[in-house]
Structure 1
Amino acid sequence: MFTDLDGCPGYSWGAAALVTLYRYLGDASMYSCKQLGGYPTLLQCWIHEYFPTVGKRGENWKPADNWAV
């Protein structure tokens, strides 16, 4: 498939992986779709790397304090 293997390191492989994952995510967001294809763990790792505050709660958050009695 590649005729010039020396040029492979010059390609943006991270962008290619994200494009593929976004495509799968777009397909999975359709009402009729039941599964997510690709490698979603890679997408999750990318999100945690570039958006470190996503999914984090404040330091003073205590689950036991949120229970109604």
Structure 2
Amino acid sequence: MPDDGSGPAGKVEGIPLFLIPKAVAEQIKKNGDAIFQIHVERKFHHRYTVRVETLDEHARRLKQGDFLQDGDSNG
């Protein structure tokens, strides 16, 4: 599974649908109770990105004023 290693929690990109449970399980083993949220996003050609955000990363994002999640909008 390709892993770009972004941040301490991680992001796995370009995985097929049937490997999502494995990618999520690996991230849970790696980060444990520190996980705040897990995002699964469909990309092109039936490939998916699994992104994990820890509680520390979430708190840091809120302090920076970045309140909108990916894909959220005000309209």
Q: TM-score, normalised by structure 1?
A: 0.30
Higher normalized strand content (fraction of residues): 2
Higher normalized helix content (fraction of residues): 1
Q: TM-score, normalised by structure 2?
A: 0.29
Of the two structures, which has the highest relative contact order with CA contacts closer than 8 Å and spacing of 6 or more? 2
Bigger CA radius of gyration? 1
